[in-house]
Amino acid sequence: KASQKKQQFHTESPSPTRASTPKMASDTPCLGTASGPATSAEITNPMNLMQEMAIDVASIRMDVADIRGNLESLGQRVSNAETKIGRLGGRMDDHEARLVKVEDELAHQTRYAGELWDRVQDLKNRSRRNNIRVIGVPEGVEGNGLSGPTLLLSILRECLPLGETDSIEVERAHCTLGPRPTLDQRPRPIVACLLRFQDRERILRLAREAGELYWRGGKIMIFPDMSRELAAQRKLFTPARRRCMELGIRYALQYPVVLRVTVNGRQQKFKDPEEAIRELNRIPDQNRREEDPQPQRKS
């Protein structure tokens, strides 16, 4: 009986240690509800969430590692590109310096080639300073045993007032190179080289003074012989020469391409045809000035 009472006392009376320490709500796990303990699904759900979070964290770490690797490779590529750009910058500076040198050399060569061309043209035209060009002589008249120089002398003596005693010597005379024209085409010009420059100037002066020349019923013209380039340059002064003739001004087209004009006893020289025609247009026409009535003063 004593033992039974002792066991009953132990079962009914609470333990002093348990009674002294109160239980907190946070110390007990919240896996269950008030109605009963937590089920296995409720226990495995947080575990699945933790596993998914661990997988996500691992993938994020892998992505971060990939980004770091890409950044490192990108930085290396940028550094390589900067190095190449530096090298290219040096090469660009070198190429620019060489380009400037080439441009300067090209400008020098262009000026030198222009000077050489002017010298060649000057030599080419000075070699023809004893030549004259006769236009309008029919083809085939040099027959009957007449040579080129003899035919040219006969033409000049018939058209120009040359004395019989004037000793004009012609070294050579021939038609210009080219195919023989047909009957409906213009005859080829005759180029003659005179022995003396004075004879050439006298023939040209007499031809200018005569105005129009005719030989055997046909009109002929005598001009100085020059290169095609110089003839084109001198042709640009044709409007200025016509303006001088309209104004009644003395003029002369000097060698190579210089227009000399005498206005009121004062000489002016023009190398630019546009400038010459512009200055000539400023000169009042003497014929118009004479025709205009004089203004009368009021008494």
Confidence of residue 39 (pLDDT cuts 50, 70, 90): low
pLDDT of 152 > 80? The answer is yes
Written as six digits, the tokens of 251 are 């003029």
As for how many domains the chain has, the answer is 3
Q: Identify the pLDDT of residue 37.
A: 56
Written as six digits, the tokens of 183 are 């009957």
Q: Identify the pLDDT of residue 224.
A: 92
pLDDT of 239 > 90? The answer is yes
Q: Residue 142 falls within a domain, yes or no? A: yes
Nearest to 133 by CA among 195, 197, 192, 181: 192
3-state SS, residue 135: strand
Q: Residue 55 falls within a domain, yes or no? A: yes
Q: Residue 234 falls within a domain, yes or no? A: yes
Indicate which CATH number applies to the domain containing 241: 3.30.250.20
Name the percent of the chain lying above pLDDT 70.
Answer: 79
Written as six digits, the tokens of 177 are 């190179």
Show which of 181, 203, 225 is a domain's final residue: 225
Determine the Cα–Cα distance for residues 241 and 249; give it in Å rounded to an integer. 9
Q: Residue 31 falls within a domain, yes or no? A: no
Which residues have CB under 8 Å from 244's CB, separation 6+?
250, 251, 261, 280
Which whole-number Å values give the CA distances from 140 to 123, 144, 147, 179, in the listed order? 33, 10, 11, 13
Determine the Cα–Cα distance for residues 60 and 54; give it in Å rounded to an integer. 10
Contact predicate 147/248, CB 8 Å: no
pLDDT of 299 > 90? The answer is no
Indicate which CATH number applies to the domain containing 203: 3.30.70.1820
Same-domain check for residues 205 and 244: no
pLDDT of 8 > 60? The answer is no
Q: Residue 295 falls within a domain, yes or no? A: no
Q: Identify the pLDDT of residue 42.
A: 60
Determine the Cα–Cα distance for residues 229 and 235; give it in Å rounded to an integer. 10
Which residues have CB under 8 Å from 204's CB, separation 6+?
132, 222, 223, 224
DSSP structure string for 224-267: E---HHHHHHHHTTHHHHHHHHHHT-EEEEETTTEEEEEETTEE
Q: Identify the pLDDT of residue 165.
A: 66
Same-domain check for residues 142 and 118: no
Q: Residue 26 falls within a domain, yes or no? A: no
Show which of 99, 126, 153 is a domain's final residue: 126
Query: For the whole model, what pTM was predicted?
Result: 0.58
Same-domain check for residues 150 and 83: no
Q: Residue 112 falls within a domain, yes or no? A: yes
Show which of 91, 126, 161 is a domain's final residue: 126
Written as six digits, the tokens of 85 are 């750009």
Which residues have CB under 8 Å from 267's CB, separation 6+?
260, 261
Nearest to 135 by CA among 207, 76, 191: 191
Q: Identify the pLDDT of residue 232.
A: 93
pLDDT of 195 > 90? The answer is yes
- Residue range 163-184: average pLDDT? 85
Same-domain check for residues 204 and 214: yes
Nearest to 256 by CA among 117, 109, 108: 117
Name the percent of the chain lying above pLDDT 90.
Answer: 40
Same-domain check for residues 84 and 97: yes
Q: Identify the pLDDT of residue 296.
A: 46
pLDDT of 274 > 90? The answer is yes
Same-domain check for residues 164 and 104: no
Q: Residue 95 falls within a domain, yes or no? A: yes
Q: Identify the pLDDT of residue 244.
A: 92
Contact predicate 48/54, CB 8 Å: no
Contact predicate 171/149, CB 8 Å: yes
Same-domain check for residues 138 and 176: yes
3-state SS, residue 148: helix
Same-domain check for residues 94 and 136: no
pLDDT of 30 > 60? The answer is no
* Domain carrying residue 245: 227-285
Q: Identify the pLDDT of residue 263.
A: 86
Determine the Cα–Cα distance for residues 149 and 168; give it in Å rounded to an integer. 10
Q: Identify the pLDDT of residue 221.
A: 94
